Amino acid sequence: MSQSELPAEMTLQRSSRDQSAVHDQLEAWLSTVLPAGSDPAVTLLAGVDSNGMSSETVLLDVTTTQDGERVTAAYVARVVPAPEDLPVFEEYRLGDQYEAMRLAAELTDVPVPAVSWLEPTGEVLGTPFFLMERIEGIVPPDVLPYTFGDNWFHDATPEQQRHLQDSSVEVLAKLHAIPDAATTFAFLDPAVTGAEGATPLARNLVRTRSWYDFAQRADADSQPSPLIERGLAWLEANLPADEGDPVLVWGDARIGNMMFQDFTPVAVLDWEMATIGPRELDLGWMVFAHRVFDTIATSLGVPGMPDVLRAEDVAATYTAASGVEVGDLTWYQLHAAVLWGCVFLRTSARQIHFGEIERPEDPESVFHHRPLLEAMLAEVGA
């Protein structure tokens, strides 16, 4: 199956932004932040459509004069979506993303791209953005999902796939090893934005409910999701008793948000969901994200990749890398399932907005992980 054959509900337009205007606006702005005489020239290369659903991502080269010579550097712009384009997230906290990436790169050897300039006001492009270095590497694709086959990760040997899996889990162990994360990354605590709760996990769950409330009221015709509401009720009633010390949680911890060379991570991307909390938040998300793509594949008659990123393998690799035994991931995977539901509610609302799909009678029909979510709710008796 090719991308052109993908069902309409699995395609996604991200922006109505005028790219020619973006070029001129970036070039004019850079002339104000770079040293006098730099004479910046911007070349926009492309947006990124094969991975990610939340931020706008623009690839660009910037040529400047340095010591009398013209020098070109490669960048990526991460841009907050315009409100009229129905953003996925309730809030983007771009400055927090920028600072989390800066600190993670400084405090670990995790390959987090260097961040360059932050424009927090929205006065240049209409919404805030920052520039970061552009890394050369390849990514397991989201569209079509890598589980469909005919891509470099699916077609690799089992040994190469396992190396990619283990080295990706080791990234989490290194991020989680940053000492005193609750202080260093205090700006990521959901309490900063008003979420109340006795622990970081409780506050993260409050923020999850807030995201759902935001996601299911995209417009006057939006409808609630009984599945998500059942999931939230169970999660709230069954908060894990022992969270351990809070760590830096990358948030959107999945292999589709990493770039690889020789099946080893060379860039860790997409920090919109960064927070502090239990390490299992990242581990559950990494496992569940793969299960979502495997469910999409098998629902369309494709074998998928059932032996990749199994919970027991991920936990074992993580313990070997970190020295920390992790708890059961059931709660965290169901939390991930609820969050994916919020994502699908918002992305489907965006597709309706851009005329890509008709409004479905059943709002949960856009949940590509629906069979998986239903099964998980049944397993826990929710």
Provide the residue ranges of all domains of the chain, joining segments of one domain with +.
Answer: 3-133, 146-380
**HSE on the CB side for 18, CA within 13 Å?**
6
- pLDDT for the residue 56: 86
pLDDT confidence band for 13 (50 / 70 / 90): very low
Topology of 3-133 in CATH? Phosphorylase Kinase; domain 1 (3.30.200)
CATH 3.90.1200.10 fits 146-380, yes or no: yes
N residues, the chain: 382
What's the mean pLDDT in 49-73?
A: 83
- pLDDT for the residue 53: 52
pLDDT confidence band for 298 (50 / 70 / 90): very high
- pLDDT for the residue 54: 62
252 annotated active-site:
yes
Task: Report residue 237 CA to chain centroid gap.
Answer: 27
Beta bridge partners of 72: 63
pLDDT score of 368 more than 70 = yes
**Tokens, residue 188:** 């990521």
- List 85, 252, 282, 294, catalytic entry: 252
Query: pLDDT tens digits for 117-156?
Result: 999 999 999 999 999 999 999 999 998 999 999 999 999 9
CB burial class (10 A; 0-12, 13-18, 19+) of residue 41? middle
Q: Enumerate helices (H) and strands (E) in the chain, giving the number of each.
A: 10, 9
What's the mean pLDDT in 315-344?
A: 96
pLDDT confidence band for 18 (50 / 70 / 90): confident
What's the mean pLDDT in 287-298?
A: 96
Q: Average model confidence (pLDDT) for the chain?
A: 92
Contacts of residue 191, defined as CB under 8 A and 6 or more positions apart, other chains included, come to 197, 203
Q: 3-state class of 25 per DSSP?
A: helix
- pLDDT for the residue 52: 47
| Integer angstrom CA distances of residue 103 from 57, 90, 107 | 21, 24, 6
Contacts of residue 355, defined as CB under 8 A and 6 or more positions apart, other chains included, come to none
pLDDT score of 10 more than 70 = no
Q: What is the dihedral of CA 178, 182, 187, 188, to 10 degrees?
A: 80
What is the Cα–Cα distance from 313 to 169, expressed in whole angstroms? 10
| Whole-prediction pTM | 0.92
- pLDDT for the residue 5: 45
Query: pLDDT tens digits for 153-191?
Result: 999 999 999 999 999 999 999 999 999 999 999 999 999
pLDDT score of 2 more than 60 = no
What's the mean pLDDT in 27-46?
A: 94
What is the Cα–Cα distance from 220 to 368, expressed in whole angstroms? 23
pLDDT score of 223 more than 80 = yes
